[in-house]
């Protein structure tokens, strides 16, 4: 019963996350196409009159559990339009099915795919928010540590950098803080996923 409850709650959370983008306005003058970015699914956002010498590699938010690339598609389109460059919204593997560092591996595969597509490393900007912000930085650190070409810039918005979600004790509190992501099954799943 517990496994069934967990999976149905996870499916419900993913369905709810997939609907978030419906509240956002569609950017004008941007087209989309699905791509295979070195074995990783992605959505390529192409603004009209984009500078095709540069590209943004976008890792979506969502704690790497409920959200996916389609949730950030419109956001990717707006950012691509504002930057005047195409953007690849990466559909990296989700955490509960694929433990860390699978997500960074996917970002590296997509980065290498962009290189194979003719982009100069310095013309690739890694971008992300929340867990995506972490992935944008983790990718650059991995590339640096392995002495591979680095992206030209990193844009990391509110990165989720504490992978283990440890909480510091607050002596002023008499009751434990509620978990912002939900009930005990989510907390256990996140800890066991190691992200």
Note the pLDDT of residue 18: 65
Do residues 31 and 101 touch, judged by C-beta distance below 8 A?
Answer: no
Whether residue 116 has pLDDT greater than 60: yes
pTM, entire model:
0.73
pLDDT in tens, 119-145: 999 999 999 888 888 999 999 999 999
- Which residues lie below 8 Å from residue 164, measured CB to CB, with a gap of 6+? 191, 194
Cα(72)–Cα(32) distance, integer angstroms: 12
Whether residue 55 has pLDDT greater than 80: yes
Cα(124)–Cα(51) distance, integer angstroms: 12
pLDDT in tens, 1-47: 344 455 676 666 656 666 666 666 788 999 999 999 999 999 999 99
pLDDT in tens, 90-111: 988 877 776 778 889 999 999 9
Note the pLDDT of residue 194: 41
Which residues pair with residue 92 across a beta bridge?
none
Note the pLDDT of residue 158: 78
- Which residues lie below 8 Å from residue 68, measured CB to CB, with a gap of 6+? 14, 17, 18, 60, 62, 91, 94
Q: What is the mean pLDDT of residues 70-98?
A: 85
């Amino acid at each position: 019963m517990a496994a069934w409850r967990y999976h149905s709650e996870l499916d419900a959370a993913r369905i709810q996350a997939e609907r978030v983008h419906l509240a956002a306005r569609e950017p004008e003058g941007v087209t989309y196409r699905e791509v295979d970015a070195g074995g990783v699914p992605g959505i390529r956002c192409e603004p009209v009159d984009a500078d095709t010498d540069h590209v943004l590699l976008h890792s979506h938010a969502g704690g790497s559990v409920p959200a996916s690339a389609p949730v950030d598609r419109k956001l990717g389109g707006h950012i691509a339009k504002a930057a005047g460059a195409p953007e690849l919204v990466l559909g990296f593997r989700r955490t509960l099915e694929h433990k860390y560092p699978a997500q960074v591996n996917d970002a590296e595969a997509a980065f290498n795919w962009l290189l194979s597509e003719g982009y100069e490393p310095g013309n690739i900007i890694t971008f992300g928010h929340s867990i995506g912000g972490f992935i944008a930085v983790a990718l650059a650190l991995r590339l640096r540590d392995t002495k591979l070409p680095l992206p030209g810039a990193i844009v990391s918005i509110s990165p989720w950098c504490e992978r283990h979600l440890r909480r510091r004790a607050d002596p002023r509190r008499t009751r434990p803080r509620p978990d912002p992501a939900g009930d005990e099954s989510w907390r256990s799943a996140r800890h066991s996923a190691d992200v």
